[in-house]
Structure 1
């Protein structure tokens, strides 16, 4: 393991920091009153101003955001434990069983009881528990990855190592975009893939990720997705693909800080690989370990970067 040079740590505008702190507060109190009037009181802003700022940062209105997160967590509970539907609805902050059922059916195109009866495509308590944990931590931030923080200052050094990476299955949406469109692409792709997996009972096994099969000077190909326990057995929608990433050796590091400074970490990885006589053996990917919706300080955000490699010394012999 090697310690590398300085990169950058963010200084966040007071307005953005306040909204991130508000999101963290909301996500810890979803069983209570998180209406717009209450959020405005917490933020010490007018309802109109908060609504406008919230939607600009998150991409959803406060009501749409809280309803979506509550329903996602409720859906995960339905297939991971045997609690009564009314109890789950109450714990997730819905006023009544009827209100919950109507909202759930609109969101997932089936009633809570039918959703529970179908269950996950991959059965088992461990799979269900993993799915529930992944949904609970991912739902609040599914549209916030690669949130841009423009003001920066020196950050903590980076550490890099080589390790064996296991194979995994995933659902992704693939798009060709300009380099400055990553955040917008993920804000569109990740919620779509996440919602599809929940709607169709596919067990989610970890945080969202972005993979880069092709990187050019002016554009790149990005695959935004989530890991799942097993490939789906039915045909997917036109936009969503199922992929399997093979096991192998890879250079791995954890980037700590805002998404804006991820390019500097990739540059450090490339330099380290040259020094270690390693060459890339496939597309890199980054997994978003920290939930921006629950951790308001960008300096604490962690993103794992994985670059599959082959050893050029062994290859040449």
Structure 2
């Protein structure tokens, strides 16, 4: 078993332990490794210490519960593994810049205040994305048997998002997303911006040795008016697209992109905008890279 697969299996177990002991001692016993050895391996794969990881995931999920439910703050704190209301409040305030009560009172931004459906979608997104927000596009160091690609033509609605944009080398996608997506995810939560689904990467420009990439989190409505250095609101217009779901590790994504390109040529279609890939599967919940699913969307026009 590779180091990455071993740590991902551990993450899946940790994420299921909403309020049980997840101290380094407990995790090292679970992994059958010494605390020192596990700590070093965990940081190498996840980019955070075990304590920082579990604390962040629990706080993010608790913040979503504050917006999506009317349960008492003390109950939410207990459900997410915090020893007391006071400990939870201090940790929450450090992460989000306001107390749990003030965060709940502010609610979601704009016309979404009081929108139970938006709050529920936001909470589901946070629950699934928080454990792996820094792991998407990670190198699994594995190859899988090619899976036949089904390509469908879909009429997609407009997509609202928060994005960060950067020109990078082609081998820097994973490392760049590991910085962008956590920053966007935290920004959305801190400002009460309702997220509407898994994160994505969009590619507005491809060059010989580099590309321009936008890391993004989708939002329920346009997220204008909450500026921060390097973060901006984006709306991708509604339109027709060729859509395929890639199954397997991220290393084999180029094969699915090539299949879509071949299909577009065979169908006499024309590319109508930059492609993007949405990460449907959480590596922190699904340790086996063969089960990972990534939706690829390529805007197109009708055949001439």
What TM-score, normalized to structure 1?
0.93
Q: Of the candidates 80, 89, 106, which is equivalent to residue 77 of structure 2?
A: 89
1:291 maps to: 282
Residue among 174, 181, 187 paired with 1:183: 174
| CA–CA distance in structure 1, aligned partners of residues 289 and 187 of structure 2 | 28
Match of 2:7 in 1: 19
Give the 3-state SS of the residue equivalent to 1:201 in structure 2.
coil
Aligned to 1:66: 54
Give the structure 1 partner of residue 120 of structure 2. Answer: 129
Shift of 1:233: 4.4
How do 1:158-169 and structure 2 match up within 5 A? 158-169=149-160
CA distance in 1, matches of 2:212, 2:83: 44
Aligned twin of 2:191: 200
In 2: Cα distance, 1:150 partner to 1:43 partner: 21
Q: Which runs of 5+ in 2 are unaligned?
A: none
The Cα shift of 1:252 comes to: 0.1
Structure 1 pair 175–91 and aligned structure 2 pair: CA distance change class (3 A):
same
Instruction: Provide the secondary structure at the position in 2 that maps to 1:79.
Output: helix
The CA distance in 2 between the partners of 1:156 and 1:229, in whole Å, is 33
CA distance in 1, matches of 2:196, 2:229: 23
CA contact under 8 A between 1:30 and 1:66: conserved in structure 2?
no
Alignment correspondent of 1:8: none
Alignment deviations for residues 261-294 of structure 1 (CA, whole Å, 9 cap, x no partner): 1111111110111111111100100000000011
- What residue number does 2:163 align with? 172
Paired with 2:188 and 2:3, the residues of 1 have a C-alpha distance of 34
Superimposed CA distance per residue, residues 17-68 of structure 1 (whole angstroms, 9 cap, x where no aligned partner): 2211101000011311111101100111111111111111111000000000
Contact 1:255/1:262, CA 8 A, preserved across alignment: yes
State the 1:231 CA deviation.
1.8
Aligned-pair Cα RMSD in Å: 1.0
Q: 1:6 aligns to what?
A: none
Q: Which moved more, 1:171-180 or 1:159-168?
A: 159-168
Compute the displacement of 1:311 (Å): 2.2
Listed as ranges, the matches of 1:92-103 within 5 Å are 92-103=80-91
| Match for residue 264 of structure 1 among 235, 255, 260 | 255
Q: Equivalent residues in 2 for 1:226-305 (5 A)?
A: 226-305=217-296
Unaligned runs of 5+ in 1: 1-12
Q: CA deviation at 1:232?
A: 2.7
Q: 1:31 to 1:175 in 2, by over 3 A?
A: same
Q: TM-score, normalised by structure 2?
A: 0.97
- In the alignment of these two chains, the number of paired residues is 301
SS at structure 1 position matched to 2:68:
coil
